[in-house]
Amino acid sequence: MVQPPLTSPLVDDMSRRMCSIPQERTSRDATIHIVDDDDAVRDSLSLLLSTDGFRVRSHESASHLLASVEPGDTGCVVTDARMPEMTGIELLEAMKARRLSLPVVVITAYADVSLAVQAMKQGAFDFLEKPFDNEALLACVRLALAYEREEQFRAAETQTIEARLQTLTARESEVLERLLHGMPNKVIGRELGISVRTVEVHRANVMLKMNAGSLSELVRMSLAAEQARGKG
């Protein structure tokens, strides 16, 4: 495995803060998929990652990876950018089309800036330039897995919020919508043709059903659900 310096926007900025994530939290139930048409590179990366405690699967082509993973799988992908059958960029496009959410680290040739930019635009988590340091790759993989766990947590949280929103009555939803626009109870009551006291009752029910401890928390929940719908 090659050793000299690395250039990576995310790793340079974040690895000092996050590469010390406990190993048992990063590798549990997660698989690192290595995609490269070069046998020697696959073997070298597999040895490096498995020695550090990661579960590793090697793939000789992008199509082999696509046949091996399904939506909901956990882990991350480390892929070469330039491969004969399907490039790393094309792999990113195919993964997006199949709703495969594994974070992808793309390995590019030195100073291949245009390819790195393409990779990031297609949703790559990060890219590493050859030659790169072993610890830099390990740090990048740890960051990718930490990012994936955070995304899974957010997805689960959003599902919970959506389920709570479904329990609101039509009137409670109307009150919530106006609360999110910053309307005071008096204005809400006037718009809906109900008393301030009735607005207060509906507002209390909304807070209870949404399990929100404050108005700011209610706003955060609603925005999270709205953003998730926008991505869907």
* pLDDT in 10s for each residue of the chain, 232 residues: 333 333 444 444 444 334 334 444 444 568 999 999 999 999 999 999 999 999 999 999 999 999 999 998 999 999 999 999 899 999 999 999 999 989 999 998 765 778 888 888 888 999 998 888 999 999 999 999 999 888 888 888 888 999 999 999 999 999 999 999 999 999 999 999 999 999 999 999 999 999 999 998 999 899 888 877 776 5
As a CATH number, domain 9-152 is 3.40.50.2300
pLDDT, position 113: 76
Q: Indicate where the chain has its CATH 3.40.50.2300 domain(s).
A: 9-152
Structure tokens at 165: 């929103």
Q: Indicate where the chain has its CATH 1.10.10.10 domain(s).
A: 167-231
Q: Which CATH architecture has domain 167-231?
A: Orthogonal Bundle (1.10)
H-helix segments, the chain: 9-18, 23-27, 39-51, 62-66, 88-97, 113-121, 134-165, 170-180, 185-192, 196-210, 215-231
What is the distance between the alpha carbons of residues 222 and 210, in angstroms, rounded to a whole number? 10
On the 0-12 / 13-18 / 19+ scale of CB atoms within 10 A, 192 is: middle
Tell me phi and psi for residue 172, to 5 degrees: -65, -35
Largest CA distance in the chain: 74
CA 8 to chain centre: 19
Q: Is the dihedral of CA 116, 117, 120, 126 positive or negative?
A: positive
pLDDT, position 9: 41
Number of Cα atoms under 13 Å in the Cβ half of residue 133: 12
Pairing of strands 75-80, 104-108: parallel
pLDDT, position 130: 85
Helix, strand, or coil here: 110?
coil
